[in-house]
Amino acid sequence: MERNYILQQLYNRYIEPTKKPRECFVGVEFEMPIVNLNNEPVDFHIVHNLTKLFCEKFTFAVVGIDDNGNVFSAQNRSNGDILSYDCSYNNLELSFGKEKNLNLIHERFLTYYGFIQEYFSRFNYTLTGMGVNPNRNINHNVPIETGRYRMLFHHLHSFNKYNIPMYFHKYPEYGTFSSASQVQLDVDYDDLPLVLNTFSLLEPVKALIFSNSVLLGENEDVLCCRDMFWENSPHGINSHNIGMYDCTFGSAEDILNYIATTSIYCTERDGKYINFEPINIIEYFGKETIVGEYCQNGEYYPIEFSPDISDLNYLRTFKFEDLTFRGTVEFRSVCCQPVSDCMCVSAFHLGLMNKVNDLKNILENDTVLYHHGYTASELRKFLIKRSFPEFIDKNALYRLAKQIVDLSFEGLSERGFGEEVYLTPLYERISQQTNPADKMLADIANGISLNEIIKKYAEAKR
């Protein structure tokens, strides 16, 4: 296939949807670890029974069934809400149908969460608000038995076969124990470069106030290890598939050309998920055949196939600001937050999206973080750690963070729904110069048990 044809197809998939007239909607996703407080692995039978009872209670229709007949995804057809399990049955996800008002999402979340917690409490289980499952070394970190999750698990475990100058971490099963808080916001064509450029510059500040994923007992200086999970795995073989952009877009065409530099690593043929070494999307469609492998009865077999334009549906990137085929930007760099603070992520981004020009001016004129010779990506790597680099004035940095949260507060206030209340936890973190990960480590150092912290981070608040 010719390059221009592929570029046009990429344009139709990612750029064209942003031209459609739309109202301002928000989509919210919460991933939360399931924790067995008995210091034992999660019993998946308990999880499957919860799913059954939840579907009956809230009239959710089954959407996905694994190879053993267990439901891993169900949806409420009337409002679009979804209960699912991400990668494994140790990680529960609640995704909400698009809404204009965050309060509506929060009310439904509290209703679902209350039901789930009441059921789990019978077994001394809980959901909690941590970016890494605190029982990751106890649980059965196995993928959901479906073609897609087996393929993904296999892909992440394939790092040993790559003879390239790249460091790979030792957690290929990280998808089974890492949890995120994600938000999707509609974006207009004319604002594409502005939004991606500006929110990329914001990433270091987000690391400062949102970090909440620690590998307890290992490198506890890293407060947001989720960055490393993606960057130093096979997903990061092509750095354009993960993390930040580290470039400035001047037009939608620039963004399109960037998308064309990303890689594809899987597709599907005849109901079989096929995995192959990541390959640039343009190069992929230029080949007559590709050799990959698929799983059958627990064994992997080679398969040769020809690229088809429908394979674009399997192009998956994991950018911190990801342009989707829905005409939205998905913000995906934030760890799961303590449950009482669950709405702060979506509120923060939504308020700033309404003030994106002002945010741009703040960040471009900043001298606390920027203009010291470091890129936004390098600065984020500094600020996901507990120790601060010497060139940053810590007090000035928190003043910058407050200025940005104030701007989000203003943007939310102008919407008139009272959503600015969800920013309260961020003001508390800035005042105390901490974040959930740092607070957890401080509590442990002060003799508070891990189970007490798990329960504390599980507390919901109206």
Mean pLDDT of 264-280: 97
- More confident site: 21 or 248: 248
In the chain, the domains with their CATH numbers are 3-262+317-458 (3.30.590.20)
Q: Measured between alpha carbons, how far apart are the two ends of the chain, in Å?
A: 54
User: Residue 281 in contact with residue 258, Cβ under 8 Å?
Assistant: no
Amino acid identity, residue 347? A
Could you give the 3-state DSSP secondary structure of residue 107? helix
Token digits of residue 437: 């990960």
pLDDT over 90 at 1, yes or no: no
Name the region of 264 (left: φ>0; alpha: ψ -120 to 50; beta: rest): beta
Amino acid identity, residue 26? V
Token digits of residue 352: 């700033």
The span from the CA of 307 to the CA of 289, in Å, is 7
Token digits of residue 445: 């150092």
Token digits of residue 355: 């003030």
pLDDT digits (tens, 9 = 90+) for 47-91: 999 999 999 999 999 999 999 999 999 999 999 999 999 999 999
Mean pLDDT of 405-409: 98
In the chain, helix, strand, coil percent, each to 5?
A: 45, 20, 35
User: Residue 376 in contact with residue 246, Cβ under 8 Å?
Assistant: yes
pLDDT digits (tens, 9 = 90+) for 89-127: 999 999 999 999 999 999 999 999 999 999 999 999 999
pLDDT digits (tens, 9 = 90+) for 317-368: 999 999 999 999 999 999 999 999 999 999 999 999 999 999 999 999 999 9
pLDDT digits (tens, 9 = 90+) for 190-247: 999 999 999 999 999 999 999 999 999 998 999 999 999 999 999 999 999 999 998 9
In the prediction, which pLDDT does 23 show?
84
The span from the CA of 213 to the CA of 435, in Å, is 11
Token digits of residue 429: 């973190």
Q: Which of 318, 407, 309 is nearest to 366 (CA)?
A: 407
In the prediction, which pLDDT does 14 show?
98
pLDDT digits (tens, 9 = 90+) for 127-167: 999 999 999 999 999 999 999 999 999 999 999 999 999 99
Q: pLDDT > 90: what percent of the chain?
A: 97
CA distances from 388 to 79, 202, 222, 306, 382 (A): 44, 17, 11, 50, 7
Q: What are phi and psi of 199, to 5 degrees?
A: -70, -25
